[in-house]
């Protein structure tokens, strides 16, 4: 019997030794990406660490707990020194401002609730940084995201993380098949975040106990309005708070202080019924409020669809799927109906509350773990 001389695949899926496999690791300075870099270096891979400086370095130094701030660049560099691989800091401030921050501000001014972390992955990390990795002659790029990349019959597939509490698939729905071919997510199969921290401690990394970042990196303390006012002076124009039935209930200091579904902080106490923000009328600068049932939505229009399922998206009349309309909510069963190659209508089998333009609607395989893509929620026709 002839011996099988097929080259064995290494842990990143290449038919060659780790030492001959170059991998660029996107390092934010946090524990997740640091562990990815350390683990791959320990396995013998040709690791190159890259950290992006995304916004003003001086301002960043004053804000801990957000990715790509000055202290985080320092932490990433220390990990590289500890593990003995090269590390580079790339200035992406202009790219980040144009591709992410400006749209974030403009979307809020248009009454939407944007998700800049998705745009950052789509337009900066998995676009420009990925091209940089190719320029460095890397075989692949690895990140610290909690999501799984698995081989499928038609190529690599995206699947939710083994730990549902850490799953980041909502923020990665716009990853294209071409990008997925080049990307690797070594942490997706870990059962808990505690395992990641234990690996960091095993490698002697100073970031082993570093807290997770909670805020959007360029929004200190979650204060979106102050950032938008700084970016767009005069954005916080006052207006009226109006009940859906037409009653004038009060005034506000700017639409940017409100989001769909908000109940607290409306400043219209003394009413018999609990009221929620049900609409932001940009043209009249009105905050429309109403009872909770007005937040229920069954039909969700989506555009800029990125399809990761099998076949061309518009080939089928409809798909039975599960969808997430917010990152913090569990998937709900729905029917996905393509309108074109990039637009669709999602019919929720159970109504959802607080579906907001600017958020993502992410598609999942019903009863499975595969991510089928997603799109951006908008107001529709």
Assess whether 331 and 211 both reside in one domain: no
Q: Residue 346 belongs to a domain with what CATH number?
A: 2.40.30.10
- The three-state secondary structure class of 258 is coil
Closest among 367, 67, 324, 301 to 173, alpha carbons compared? 324
pLDDT at 61 over 50: no
Given a contact cutoff of 8 angstroms between Cβ atoms, the answer to whether 143 and 26 are in contact is yes
Q: For residue 226, is it within any domain?
A: no
How does DSSP classify residue 62?
A: T
Helix H segments across the chain? 31-42, 57-61, 70-83, 93-96, 102-109, 116-120, 130-135, 177-182, 193-202, 224-231
Residue entry with tokens 């790509």? 68
Through-space distance between the first and last CA atoms of the chain, rounded to whole angstroms = 66
Q: Pick 347 or 212 by higher pLDDT.
A: 347
Q: What's the mean pLDDT in 57-72?
A: 54
Residue entry with tokens 């609607």? 361
Number of alpha helices (DSSP H) and beta strands (DSSP E) in the chain: 10, 17
Cα 225 to Cα 142, 231, 241, 261, distances in angstroms: 34, 10, 18, 17
CA 345, CA 219: separation in Å to the nearest integer? 32
pLDDT in tens, 174-210: 999 999 999 999 999 998 889 999 999 999 999 999 9
pLDDT in tens, 233-268: 877 889 999 999 999 999 998 888 888 888 888 888
Residue ending a domain, choose from 266, 290, 314: 290
Given a contact cutoff of 8 angstroms between Cβ atoms, the answer to whether 85 and 49 are in contact is yes
pLDDT in tens, 2-44: 455 567 899 999 999 999 999 999 999 999 999 999 999 999 9
Q: Residue 264 belongs to a domain with what CATH number?
A: 2.30.30.280
What percent of the chain lies above the pLDDT cut of 90?
66
pLDDT score of 19: 97
Q: E-assigned strands of the chain?
A: 22-26, 46-53, 87-91, 140-142, 147-152, 155-160, 183-184, 239-243, 248-252, 276-281, 286-290, 296-307, 319-324, 332-338, 344-353, 360-365, 371-377
pLDDT at 70 over 80: no
Assess whether 286 and 315 both reside in one domain: no
pLDDT score of 233: 82
pLDDT at 139 over 80: yes
Assess whether 159 and 46 both reside in one domain: yes
Tell me what the pLDDT averaged over the chain comes to.
Answer: 90
pLDDT score of 217: 81
Q: For residue 206, is it within any domain?
A: yes
Tokens standing for residue 363: 């598609």
Residue ending a domain, choose from 273, 290, 307: 290
Given a contact cutoff of 8 angstroms between Cβ atoms, the answer to whether 309 and 327 are in contact is no
Assess whether 247 and 215 both reside in one domain: no
Closest among 290, 258, 296, 287 to 276, alpha carbons compared? 290
Which pLDDT band, with edges at 50, 70 and 90, does 380 fall under? Answer: low
Lowest-confidence region among 68-72, 115-119, 158-162: 68-72
CA 179, CA 375: separation in Å to the nearest integer? 17
Given a contact cutoff of 8 angstroms between Cβ atoms, the answer to whether 21 and 12 are in contact is yes
Tokens standing for residue 254: 């700017």
Q: For residue 5, is it within any domain?
A: no
Q: How many CA atoms lie within 13 A of 273 on its CB side?
A: 10
Angle formed by the axes of helices 31-42 and 193-202, nearest 10°: 50
pLDDT score of 58: 46
Q: What's the mean pLDDT in 110-128?
A: 89
Closest among 116, 73, 87, 95 to 25, alpha carbons compared? 87
Assess whether 309 and 286 both reside in one domain: no
Q: What's the mean pLDDT in 144-171?
A: 94
The active-site residue out of 67, 68, 117, 120 is 120
Closest among 375, 303, 100 to 219, alpha carbons compared? 100
Q: For residue 9, is it within any domain?
A: no
Assess whether 160 and 38 both reside in one domain: yes
Assess whether 244 and 191 both reside in one domain: no
Assess whether 304 and 323 both reside in one domain: yes
Assess whether 192 and 57 both reside in one domain: yes
- The three-state secondary structure class of 374 is strand
pLDDT at 67 over 90: no
Residue ending a domain, choose from 221, 249, 264: 221
Assess whether 33 and 131 both reside in one domain: yes
pLDDT at 105 over 50: yes
Identify whether 68 is a catalytic site residue.
Answer: no
Angle formed by the axes of helices 224-231 and 102-109, nearest 10°: 100
pLDDT score of 109: 85
CA 354, CA 294: separation in Å to the nearest integer? 9
Assess whether 109 and 48 both reside in one domain: yes
Q: What's the mean pLDDT in 106-133?
A: 89
Q: How many residues can be counted in the chain?
A: 381
pLDDT at 225 over 90: no
Q: For residue 351, is it within any domain?
A: yes
Q: For residue 8, is it within any domain?
A: no
Given a contact cutoff of 8 angstroms between Cβ atoms, the answer to whether 72 and 36 are in contact is no
Q: Residue 85 belongs to a domain with what CATH number?
A: 3.40.50.620
Q: For residue 330, is it within any domain?
A: yes
Tokens standing for residue 101: 């921050």
The active-site residue out of 67, 140, 217, 361 is 217
pLDDT at 63 over 80: no
pLDDT score of 114: 86
Residue entry with tokens 């059962």? 191
pLDDT score of 179: 95
Identify whether 217 is a catalytic site residue.
Answer: yes
pLDDT at 269 over 70: yes
pLDDT score of 320: 97
Q: What's the mean pLDDT in 294-321?
A: 95
pLDDT at 289 over 60: yes
Q: For residue 231, is it within any domain?
A: no
Assess whether 309 and 248 both reside in one domain: no
State which residues form the domain around 334.
Answer: 296-377
- If one counts the domains in the chain, the total is 3
pLDDT at 381 over 50: no
Given a contact cutoff of 8 angstroms between Cβ atoms, the answer to whether 256 and 235 are in contact is yes
How does DSSP classify residue 222?
A: G
* Top-confidence range, 208-217, 260-269, 352-361: 352-361
């Amino acid at each position: 019997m002839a011996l099988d001389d097929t080259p064995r695949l290494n842990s990143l899926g290449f038919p060659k030794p780790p030492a001959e496999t170059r991998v660029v690791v996107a390092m934010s300075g946090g524990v997740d990406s640091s562990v990815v870099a350390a683990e791959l270096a320990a396995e013998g891979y040709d690791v190159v660490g890259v950290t992006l400086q995304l916004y003003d370095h001086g301002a960043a130094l004053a804000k801990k707990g957000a990715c790509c701030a000055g202290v985080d660049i320092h932490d990433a560099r220390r990990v590289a020194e500890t593990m003995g691989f090269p590390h580079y800091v790339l200035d992406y401030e202009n790219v980040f401002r144009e591709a992410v921050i400006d749209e974030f501000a403009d979307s809020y001014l248009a009454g939407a609730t944007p998700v800049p972390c998705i745009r950052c992955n789509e337009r900066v990390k998995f676009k420009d940084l990925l091209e940089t990795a190719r320029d460095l002659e890397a075989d692949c790029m690895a990140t610290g995201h909690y999501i799984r990349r698995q081989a499928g019959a038609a190529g690599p597939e995206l699947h939710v993380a083994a730990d549902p509490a850490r799953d980041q698939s909502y923020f990665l729905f716009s990853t294209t098949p071409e990008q997925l071919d080049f990307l690797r997510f070594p942490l997706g199969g870990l059962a808990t975040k505690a395992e990641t921290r234990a690996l960091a401690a095993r490698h002697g990394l100073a970031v082993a106990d570093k807290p997770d970042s909670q805020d959007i990196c360029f929004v200190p303390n979650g204060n979106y309005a102050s950032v938008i006012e700084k970016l767009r002076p005069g954005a916080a124009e006052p207006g009226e708070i109006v009940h859906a039935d037409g009653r004038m209930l009060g005034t506000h200091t700017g639409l940017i202080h409100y989001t769909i579904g908000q109940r607290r902080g409306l400043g219209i106490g003394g009413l018999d019924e609990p009221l929620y923000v049900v609409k932001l009328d940009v043209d009249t600068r009105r905050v429309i409020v109403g009872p909770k049932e007005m937040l229920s939505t069954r039909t969700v229009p989506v555009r800029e669809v990125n399809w990761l399922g099998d076949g061309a998206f518009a080939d089928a009349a409809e798909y039975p799927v599960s969808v997430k309309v917010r990152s913090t909510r569990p998937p709900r069963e729905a029917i996905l109906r393509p309108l074109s190659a990039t637009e669709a209508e999602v019919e929720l089998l159970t109504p959802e509350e607080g579906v907001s333009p600017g958020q993502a609607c992410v598609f999942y395989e019903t009863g499975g773990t595969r991510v089928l893509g997603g799109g951006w929620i908008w107001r529709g026709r």
